[in-house]
Amino acid sequence: MDVTILKDSDAVAAAGTDLLRGVLRQKPNAVLGLATGRTPLAMYQRLIAVCCDEGFSFRDVTTFNLDEYIGLSPDDPQSYRAYMKRELFDHIDIDQGNTFLPECATETDPLDVGPAYEALIRSRGGIDLQVLGIGHNGHIGFNEPTSSLKSRTRIKTLTRETISANKQYFKDPAAQPQLAVTMGIATIMDARRIMLLATGKEKAEAVRQTIEGPVSAMCPASILQMHEAVSVLLDEAAASALTLRDYYDWIAEQKLRIAGNTEGR
């Protein structure tokens, strides 16, 4: 894992933006996996600000979101479709016909959504870069602790902890869904490259278990240790429980030294 510890959440958003721009520079028609929640918001703001500058464009990009609630219509402001439109899609030059979420229309059997989503991802050539946040309990997407590390897109029952963490977004508690469709852990692991963003002290323990803990379904994000191209971007607060902090700083110094030596070659 490539662990980068930055001064604050703004620096994390800037580094995430740079990484994503780098992927699109190399492959303008890349397939992106996107996340919702508080964490990626600052990065989405930056992407909106730079979109369409210097030829940087989302025109040919396809996106697949990690998850969507069951029981909310796409126009419900709390649906992840509405979030994506509000926070990113309506402000960039993406073709919204190429933006996908594992949505479950009322007439669809929820059990069919997962396999259909997997087939759609495959038909678009797979995900080039998957953006992830992390839950307090180490979940990625809505893969809660004890999710199979081999899971595919499917229905998940949210933990009480996740429901409580997200209740701030629902005025009427009765309207908050308890079920979602989420990409599976194996679906996420199929992405060619992964970028995990985490900010704030409340994520510090989940981040420690992800990077330094054993690989375990009790911390679903820990499976990322088995992926060959993961960048973890942390602010100081989210990195505060890491035990090998000196080592990550040492690696960062070496990287700067190597970049200095190779500059201008």
Positions that interact with ligand GLP (CB under 6 A) = 35-39, 66-67, 133-135, 141-142, 162, 166
Is 137 a catalytic site residue?
Answer: yes
Q: Least distance to ligand GLP from the beta carbon of 168, Å?
A: 9
Residues 6+ positions from 85 with CB-CB distance below 8 Å = 96
CA distance 20 to 15: 9
Q: Least distance to ligand GLP from the beta carbon of 38, Å?
A: 3
- 67 vs 190, which CB is nearer to ligand GLP? 67
- 25 vs 171, which CB is nearer to ligand GLP? 171
- 12 vs 24, which CB is nearer to ligand GLP? 12
The answer to whether 190 and 226 are in contact (CB under 8 A) is no
Please give the span between the terminal C-alpha atoms of the chain, in angstroms, as a whole number.
Answer: 27
Residue 209, phi-psi category: left (phi > 0), alpha (psi -120 to 50), beta (remainder)? alpha
Is 139 a catalytic site residue?
Answer: yes
Q: Identify the DSSP state of 35.
A: -
- 24 vs 133, which CB is nearer to ligand GLP? 133
Is 228 a catalytic site residue?
Answer: no
Backbone angles phi, psi at 261, to 5 degrees: -70, -30
One of 103, 128, 139, 143 is an active-site residue; which one? 139
Is 144 a catalytic site residue?
Answer: yes
One of 67, 68, 118, 128 is an active-site residue; which one? 67
By annotation, the residues acting in catalysis are 67, 137, 139, 144
